[in-house]
Amino acid sequence: MKIPFLICLAWSTAAKAQGSGEVYAAPGMRVHLQTRALPKKGRAKPAAIPAIVPRFWHSADSVAWQTGYIQYLQALQHFMKFPVEALREQVEGRLFVRAILSAEGLPIKVEVVKRNLTTTASHAILNAFDAEAARVVGALRFEPKAGLPDTIIIQMSYFMQ
């Protein structure tokens, strides 16, 4: 009685080749089935965006630096939006933005210092990227620090997936 059940079970399970839908199993090799985790009920809560981003680059403690860097990336990703003009023309790439921060943690001056774009872009698209960079960096608030203004170079990546 056990033999037909085992044959039936082995016969009904088969591996599929990646992306093709065809059944594939090498002769003499075990078939490893991949299962997906069931989705959890309810919506996952997005990570909380910190109101004030720490100045992590001054931290000597590696754990504090990493925690601050993660909070900085979350805040940056929260505010970034792909410029519509660049989406239409399918222009993507990276911007490097220099921001001078006041002692209160507000950006005083924001300027794009370098662009690495995949294609040559028109002035309208370059202006759209620059305006988006200024908007995002202007929305960030860093923790106050006594003393001279602080400078940070921010890398902003815009890629279509």
Domains of the chain: 56-158 (3.30.2420.10)
Q: How confident is the model at residue 110 (pLDDT cuts 50, 70, 90)?
A: very high
Q: Under a CB-based contact definition with an 8 Å cutoff, are residues 80 and 120 in contact? A: no
* 145 exposure class (CB count in 10 Å sphere: 0-12, 13-18, 19+): middle
Q: How confident is the model at residue 59 (pLDDT cuts 50, 70, 90)?
A: confident
**pLDDT tens for each residue of 36-52:** 555 566 665 555 666 78
Half-sphere exposure of 135 (CA within 13 A, CB side): 13
CB neighbours of residue 43 within 10 Å: 6
The top-scoring range by mean pLDDT among 7-21, 35-49, 57-71, 93-107 is 93-107
pTM over 0.85: no
pLDDT over 50 at 8, yes or no: no
DSSP state, residue 23: B
Q: How confident is the model at residue 96 (pLDDT cuts 50, 70, 90)?
A: very high
Q: How confident is the model at residue 160 (pLDDT cuts 50, 70, 90)?
A: confident
Kindly provide the b/e burial profile for residues 95-112, where b requires at least 16 CB atoms within 10 angstroms of the residue's own CB: bebebebeeebebeebeb
pLDDT over 90 at 24, yes or no: no
pLDDT over 60 at 11, yes or no: no
